[in-house]
Structure 1
Amino acid sequence: MFACNGSSLEACGLLEPTETEMQEADTALMPTTLRVALAAIMIFMITIGFLGNGIVCLIVYQKPAMRSAINLLLATLAFSDIMLSLLCMPFTAVTLATTDWSFGMGFCRVSVMLYWLFVLEGVSILLIISVDRFLIIVQRQDKLTPHRAKILIGASWALSLCVSLPSLVGWRTAGIGAQVPQCILGYSESLADRGYTVLLAVAVFFVPFGVMLYSYLCILNTVRRNALRIHNHTSEGSVAISHVSKLGLTGLQRPQVNIDMSFKTRAFTTILILFIGFSVCWLPHTVVSLLSVFSRRFYLSPAFYPVSIGALWLSYLKAVFNPVIYCWRIRKFREACLEFMPKTFHLCPKIPGRSRRRIRPSNIYVCSSETQSSV
């Protein structure tokens, strides 16, 4: 997320821009009111991202019943979003409001490394969750235990650190351009810089997107086939019941419908929404990053500044998106949030007995042994 300084263009492999190009680049800055508004919205995003993801981590930490494998992964995803909100977003908000990076070149490299570290970790966790849902729903293999989840979490942190560390040790030359007062990816003709940018794009978006898309297409096909089985079993059961009634054998036990489908299929919709949010938030940023490094014309164009800021702002939105989805989709998360809130904020009293199921799931589904997932 960093660009080369105008005084070191030759060292970065850039051609010296003409005076006309620099004047056009200077006019690309957004209006002050828009920049201040975006900075204010980003401060609100920081607050929501910190509080929402903090509650996720607190719930998993304080409630032993919530420490299933999937919840440990969600807590790790929330922790990476907290770190992104606290260690990256505030500096972007200040720079966006003041149009000047005043934190030094050294911290520019550090902020770039931290940004990609937390982003890569969040993407890795989403990838692990997607593969886990694929194995459970499509392959009927539930192999992810809390112990294995912890091992995968440690491995994902190590891999994310290895991919993001080159930006700190100087694989790329960090700097801030006059026309780009941000630590963002800038144009370079260096093969190492371009190769590293492609590596980041592949690791952050293209590989996770491809794997998750394939997993979800397979899951959708499996869910569709299960729905057809449910319909067929229900139709056969209705015919049998009707036949028994006509014979006058009402005292006999009705045939039960056993459906070979895991309860964890319900988690698929939630994870699918997270995948859609990931795609919407990260596709623009990936495209802009590649264009910034490979296209000198785009990098020096008047549209570069607003487009790059918009893509960066959208990528930060993912840190706020996840806890909102948890609160919307996960009943246990909503209940835990209400427990942490003061009683004065509870608008509606809890009605006893309403949360009980009228139909026992065991009468309908044949479930796997592990049903602890909260999603």
Structure 2
Amino acid sequence: MYSTMMSCNETPPDAALNASVHVSCSNHTGLPTPLRILLAIIMLGMIAVGFLGNAIVCLIVYQKPAMRSAINLLLATLAFSDIMLSLFCMPFTAVTILTVDWNFGAPFCRISAMLYWFFVLEGVSILLIISVDRFLIIVQRQDKLNPQRAKIMIAFSWAFSFCISFPSVVGWTSVEVPSRAPQCVLGFTEFPADRAYAVMLIVAIFFIPFSIMLYSYLCILKTVRRNTVRIHNHAESVCLNQGSRLGLVGLQKARPVTVDMSFKTRAFNTILILFVGFSFCWLPHTVFSLMSVFNRQFYYSPSFYVTSTCVLWLSYLKSVFNPVIYCWRIKKFREACLEFLPKTYKVFPHVPGRMKRRIQPSTIYVCSEHQSAV
């Protein structure tokens, strides 16, 4: 069941034709006018940053053939889903926060609910694919995801997300339109079918992806830690072997072999940060949705509107969070972003960073019995 905010005196235009649409009104504690204006302005800024930042990510992958690796295609798809969320969902929520009334009609309530879950579920599916890919590479030592397979997985994720979110727009679940939230959200229902669909939606969006990603990252952390110990032990043995060849004097002057591990762990750390951001933005929304569906007292409480506004704002923050992480953590994306800036904005000259000598991965992996693909 979905709910969105409408005036108490407003009647949905298709209420008489669609028995699944209901109108109920109750008093709720609204936000003060200055706070509503501030939240609307912040959300408009989030829309701009989310759209422009994710658009740059998509343009980089589209315009640069060298960037069309499997992982970058997945990141571009994640950025595209965030763009769609910024364009087709966030503006209507911002307007409703500002005006306190849902002015877009009951039919669009169902459409906006479907679009919201559709784009969110697509982004979560991409994060899940990336996590499983990292798990296979680092833990199972199987690099099976090439660009062609990545495109197939992307197409499958779009189809899966559409199938899960589509019932909310065709009337397979009842839609209630009370003045309870600034956007269509899961609302209280006593019908088993509606509750089953709500639980399925929440499980597909959060619980299953979170569990798989958490397990994958715990296994990856364990593997990286074990390999790091092996690498350092191997480096020390190399130093001792060099010293033994040079004699006692050479042993005293033998320079230790330093290994730069950043090239092995930086990509994983970036994906881990995205996972933490996903958990931070979506855990409150998941708890909120479950309480809305199963707890009548919570759903009809005066503070429900304020709570729904906060958790919706936090869930939208993820679309702004991702491109910032790309530019911060991925050097190629950061350099490509600077190319999009006009030369007049490039005030400071480019200063090359300190070069670090990195040994070949094949040299590192001899410390283990089997070759690793970490």
TM-score (norm. length: structure 2): 0.88
> What residue number does 1:206 align with?
207
Task: Map 1:91-130 to 2 at 5 A.
Answer: 91-130=92-131
RMSD: 3.0
CA contact (8 A) 1:121 1:160 kept: yes
Whichever residue aligns with residue 172 of structure 1, its letter is T
Query: Contact 1:258 / 1:366 at 8 angstroms: preserved in 2?
Result: no
**Which letter maps to 2:101?**
D
Partner of 1:359: 357
CA distance in 2, matches of 1:86, 1:78: 12
Equivalent position of 2:242 in the other structure? 241
Aligned counterpart, 1:33: 34
- Aligned residues of 1:2 and 1:174 also touching (Cα < 8 A): yes
- 2:224 matched to 1:223? yes
Alignment of 1:30-109 (within 5 A): 30-109=31-110
Aligned partners of 2:192, 2:139: CA distance in 1, in Å?
A: 42
Looking at structure 2, the residues matched to 321 and 108 of structure 1 have their Cα atoms a distance apart, in angstroms, of 26
Distance 2:151 2:315 in 1: 27
1:299-346 deviations in Å (ceiling 9; x for gaps)? 111221111111111000000000000011011111000101011111
Matched, 1:331 2:331: yes
Contact 1:234 1:257 in 2 (8 A): yes
Q: Which residue number in structure 2 is paired with residue 278 of structure 1?
A: 278
Conservation of the 8 A alpha-carbon contact between 1:72 and 1:146: yes
Q: Distance in 2 between the 1:34 and 1:262 partners?
A: 44
- Identify if the C-alpha distance between structure 1 residues 131 and 180 changes in structure 2 by more than 3 Å, giving closer, same or farther: closer
Partner amino acid for 2:284?
P
Runs of 4+ in 1 over 4 A off after TM superposition: 4-8, 11-14, 247-250, 253-259, 261-264, 366-371
Contact 1:172 1:193 (8 Å CA) reproduced: yes
Cα-to-partner distance string for 1:205-252 (whole Å, 9 max, x where unaligned): 0000000000000000001101111221122122222322325779xx
Distance in 2 (CA, whole Å) between partners of 1:257 and 1:304 is 56
Give the SS at the match of 2:145. Answer: coil
Which blocks of at least 5 consecutive residues in structure 2 are unaligned? none
SS of 1:188's partner is coil
2:59 and 2:21 mapped to 1: Cα distance? 47
Contact 1:12 1:189 in 2 (8 A): no
1:305 maps to 305
Cα shift at 1:179: 4.0
Q: Does the 8 A contact of 1:134 with 1:219 survive in 2?
A: yes
Shift of 1:13: 11
Deviation at 1:178, TM superposition (A): 2.8
Q: Which residue matches 1:345?
A: 345
Q: Deviations over 1:266-291 (max 9, x none)?
A: 31100000000000000000110111
Cα displacement string for residues 171-229 of structure 1 (whole angstroms, at most 9, x for unaligned residues): 22224213445322211111111111101110000000000000000000001101111
Partners of 2:186 and 2:59 in 1: CA distance? 35
> What does residue range 133-148 of structure 1 map to in structure 2 within 5 Å?
133-148=134-149
Give structure 1 stretches of 5+ with no counterpart. Answer: none
User: Structure 1 counterpart of 2:357, which letter?
Assistant: I
Q: Which amino acid in 2 is paired with 1:96?
A: I
1:46–1:85 Cα contact (<8 Å) kept: yes
**Which amino acid in the other structure matches residue 311 of structure 1?**
V
- TM-score under structure 1 length normalisation: 0.87
Q: Distance in 1 between matches of 2:83 and 2:318?
A: 11
Structure 2 residue 154 is matched with structure 1 residue 153: yes
Give the Cα–Cα distance (whole angstroms) in 1 for the partners of residues 258 and 282 of structure 2.
Answer: 44
| Matched-pair identity in % | 63
